[in-house]
Amino acid sequence: MAAQPSTPSTATNFKVATWNVRSGMGVAGFTTTAWDSNTTNCTDSSKPMNAWGVGLPQAELARIRSDTSIVALAIQEAWACGSPSNVNSVVGFKESTREQNGTALLARYGFAGEPTYVLLATKGREEDWLIGGRVCLNASCSESIPMFSTHWSSLVESARRTVEVLRAQPTPHLFMGDLNAYKVDTWNPSVPCTGSDDPSRVQALDVVEAAAYVDAWKTTQSSEGWTGMATRNGCGIPNGNLFKRIDYVFSNGLRAVSSTRFARAAPGADSPSDHVGLIAELSPVH
């Protein structure tokens, strides 16, 4: 790995992406009969295969590969067919962390130093991890920024622990992933399945925002920004549309320039995951 590079001072804008890949299983559309989103099989064509087996996630990951301004990809539920090694076989990044409870981070130009693995909290069998390190912003790794992937189930506890751990990181830095948290301003009572009576979803975001982290979507977009849950019958308008904003890119010491979603299927159609992915463009604050 490269020697420890400097925090960027003159770097051009860069992008990061995050996606809960649901083990490559996908979500079959309301009228689909060609594949099965309830199987982990993606290699044996003599049996029903999942989304990875028919190539749906790979088509979206190819877009990540082709956009060379994306320097990091955070993945969650990265098990089985959606493992970090399988994902990286498509995107072709220089390095990938190992996964811990399905959470991992891939770096196009590698890491400047060894990645770190921090257990944030446990909830039953669920473990929330914060995984990442200094991600190189260019092929020579002359500049890098600490970046991390995470997936929360113990919402408030993991939010507090994330902020605590990242205090030790130099600024700028960022974290991203499936936080399973959302606020009232992203709800719409007229949209089926939107609401929640779990206050911890709001409280977790309060912890992050109080620590001065910038939400890339909220900063750059005025639309609802929903990232889940794809193709659920009886949810969303129209039926099968997204209805939750639970995936985020949060940064400290960076300016959010733009954000967009990827891997979004039409309502009720075949989807490569139950989440859509996020891409955020960021710039160092000078």
- Tens of pLDDT along the chain (286 residues) come to 444 555 665 568 999 999 999 999 999 999 988 999 999 999 999 999 999 999 999 999 999 999 999 999 999 999 999 999 999 999 999 999 999 999 999 999 999 999 999 999 998 889 999 999 999 999 999 999 999 999 999 999 999 999 999 999 999 999 999 999 988 666 677 788 887 668 898 999 999 999 999 999 999 999 889 999 999 999 999 999 999 999 999 999 999 999 999 999 999 999 999 999 999 999 988 6
Distance from C-alpha of 208 to C-alpha of 159, rounded to nearest angstrom: 6
33: amino acid identity, one letter: T
Residue 32 has a pLDDT of 86
- Residue spans of the domains in the chain: they are 14-284
Instruction: Find out whether the peptide bond into 192 is cis, omega within 30 degrees of 0.
Output: no
pLDDT score of 33: 85
For the purposes of burial, counting CB atoms within 10 Å of the CB of 254, is it exposed (0-12), middle (13-18) or buried (19 or more)?
buried
What Å distances lie between residue 195 and 186, 206, 227, 243, 245, CA to CA? 9, 18, 15, 9, 11
Given strand 104-107, what is the order of strands in its sheet?
Answer: 95-96, 104-107, 70-76, 14-20, 277-284, 254-262
pLDDT reported for residue 74: 98
pLDDT, position 5: 56
Q: Which amino acid is at 100?
A: Q
Topology of domain 14-284, per CATH? Deoxyribonuclease I; Chain A (3.60.10)
d(CA 213, CA 236): 29
Tell me what pLDDT residue 286 has.
Answer: 66
138 vs 8, 12, 143, 205, CA distance in Å?
11, 10, 7, 32
pTM confidence score: 0.95
What is the reported pLDDT for 188?
72
